[in-house]
Amino acid sequence: MDDTGLNFHLTEEQEAFRASVRQLVEDKLAPRAAEIDEADEYPWDIDELLVRSGFAGVSYPEEHGGAGGGAVELCLLVEEISRWSAGTSLIPAVNKLGAIPVLLAGSDEQKRLVCEGITNGDHRMSYCLTEPGSGSDAGAMKSRAARDGDGWVLNGTKRFITGAGASDLYTYFAVSDPDGPKNKNITCFLLDKDMEGFELGKKEDKMGIRGSPTREVILNDVRVPDSAVVGDVHGGFGIAMRTLDFSRPTIAAQALGIAQGAFDFAVGYVNERRQFGKPIAAFQGIQFMFADMAMKIETARMAVYRAASAVDEADSNVSYWAAIAKCYASDVAMSVTTDCVQVLGGYGYVREYPVERLMRDAKITQIYEGTNQIQRVVIARQVLGKH
């Protein structure tokens, strides 16, 4: 993919935005990060703080009631929060994931409801695609949407839905023509948790991203009007795939923040920890580990913001850049956090220090929003063609 004239410098406004987010995170979130992880309870106080500070509406168009900005600003927000609490970074990340289908294909009324509601803190959103029997093969979903007069009746179960329970609005994908061609028979719906027949299943007890609920979403004869359809009937699969292209840079930013947070803590540690009469940072074996980590992190940062820029610029190759960023940054997060645990030795393995939490948080970034194996398929198809 030839691309020239790239400029990855942040504007003065973006640098100021990053600084303001970092200040809020270090003042308010950092002291709560370990507690949020331990309790595994949704941090409503931080959610409300993001609303009050104006950060909840970042990347939502102003014409629909949002705070403005784009994918770059959203990635900056998520990266900075993830340096301390990846679970909390999913508050803005998953709101946007749930909202993207509406922003891509929804009616003006739907866009206003979502953008203004998230910005004002009236609504939180989740994205319902994965099912017990369909993960990477999303087109194999079993959820059904049947025509019923001038509306629809929905049935099905979605699994591993991030934010479920905290969210009140859900973009839900279901097969609307069981006899139609695969991937051209799915429709997207905008649902409310208060609809009759809408239920939540078990809450998952996860290794990482704790404080962000992950639950099943179960529909039992949920009746919705035509106005709940997002985009075209039977056009939902394309919306789902485009949504992931637009949201993967955000997960890449989460992975980048996790890696940077662990790295920063470990740098401080090795400069203070003394063995054999000197700081362990003086030993070449440690120095080379940090040189390698720095190279990986800075390369990941370039990939993340290249992908975010592709979203903002409506680049036709956004799928390619998003897959590279998500895959590479998440592999870096796993590698860097593992090395940071190693350099802290026994202290890295105990919960008193944050690197073990960041290592646990890192793993999911290689799995959700398309496993890294799927990302490699996407990249290879772009490079080699669809054989």
Q: Which two tokens stand for residue 354?
A: 């944050």
Residue environment code for 178-209, b if the CB has 16+ CB neighbours within 10 A, otherwise e: eeeeeeebbbbbbbebeeeebeeeeebebebb
Q: Mutual orientation of helices 355-364 and 236-272 as an angle, nearest 10°? A: 160
- Rounded Cα distance, 387 and 385, in Å: 6
Q: Tell how far CA 348 is from the center of its chain.
A: 26
Amino acid at 116: E
Q: Which two tokens stand for residue 292?
A: 């390698």
Residues with Cβ within 8 Å of residue 239, at least 6 apart in sequence: 101, 104, 105, 188, 230, 231
> Which three-class secondary structure state does DSSP give residue 132?
coil
* Residue positions annotated with a catalytic role: 369
Residue 223, classified by CB atoms within 10 Å of its CB into exposed (0-12), middle (13-18) or buried (19+), is middle
- Rounded Cα distance, 53 and 55, in Å: 6
Amino acid at 307: A
Residues with Cβ within 8 Å of residue 61, at least 6 apart in sequence: 68, 103, 111, 115
Amino acid at 369: E
Q: Tell me which residue has tokens 């061609």.
A: 181
- Rounded Cα distance, 265 and 299, in Å: 20
Amino acid at 324: I
Do 111 and 185 meet the contact criterion of CB atoms below 8 Å apart? no
Beta strand spans in 229-328 (E): 229-230, 274-275, 278-279
Beta strand spans in the chain (E): 125-128, 144-148, 151-162, 169-175, 186-192, 198-203, 214-225, 229-230, 274-275, 278-279
